[in-house]
A = this chain, B = another copy of it.
Amino acid sequence: MTTRNLYDTARSSASFRVRIALNLKGLPYEHVAVNLLKGEQSRDDFRALNPAQLVPLLEDNGQRLTQSLAIIEYLEETYPQPPLLPGDPVARAYVRAIALSIACEIHPLNNLRVLRYLMRTLQVGEEAKNSWYRHWVEQGLAQLEGQLVAGGRAGRFVFGDAVTMADVVLVPQIFNAQRFDCKLDQVPIVMHIFANCMQLPQFQAAQAERQPDFV
């Protein structure tokens, strides 16, 4: 029998992505909470598992896997059904590019450790910190909306009517955007896709407030 442990954090977007992917693939897992606010990712026991001191970490049949997008690609290769990438290389590149537009251009700027550096080291005030947050989210999502318009592939989801890796990365970012009161009315396609995803039980069950460590 497969043992599968996900070391994650309720509010971590990267953890949220992997929870969605596991749910979409129908893969059950044990949840091991890592409290980032208490710095548990830097404790010796977790560092021994992941020297990068980041969640999520997936243990799948004794194999340790890190970085949410690498984990999702691994799940796609190891448990191909249902697919989270289309079959054609150009279409796969399009879906990956949308996912990476969020994972590389928006999310890294709004991590807890980055916000802490702004406030503690650069002495940036609460309002300027929130403006920073909204700036990158709103700019990034506007560019994403432009990509979706230009790509002409959006349907119920980012790539037509099948859920892909791009939707898996999009949804947690929108939760963050809403939490920080970002303007979202200028990205109607993004929000249409978000609403459609959130009708699916695999996305619902993965959200922060449904996790045992949610506070």
Q: Which residues of A contact B (CB under 8 A)?
A: 47, 50-54, 63, 65-67, 69-71, 73-74, 77-78, 89-90, 92-94, 96-97, 99-101, 103-105, 107-109, 114, 117-118, 121-122, 124, 128, 131-132, 135, 143-144, 146-147, 149-150
14 A-B residue pairings within 8 Å (CB atoms): A52-B147, A63-B90, A65-B90, A65-B93, A66-B97, A66-B147, A77-B89, A77-B92, A104-B104, A109-B109, A109-B114, A118-B122, A122-B124, A122-B132
Contact B93 A70 (CB under 8 A): yes
Q: Which residue of B lies closest to A114 (CB)?
A: B109
Complex contact A51–B149 (CB within 8 A): yes
Contacts of A121 in B (CB 8 A): 131-132, 135
Interface pair A51/B147, CB less than 8 Å apart: yes
Whether B69 and A96, one on each chain, are in contact in the complex, defined by CB atoms closer than 8 angstroms, is yes
Q: How far is the CB of A1 from chain B (nearest CB, A)?
A: 19
Contact B51 A146 (CB under 8 A): yes
- Give the most central of A94, A100, A109: most B CB within 10 Å: A100
In the complex, are the beta carbons of A100 and B52 less than 8 A apart? Answer: no
Closest to A129 in B: B122
Cα-based distance from A98 to B77 in the complex (angstroms) = 18
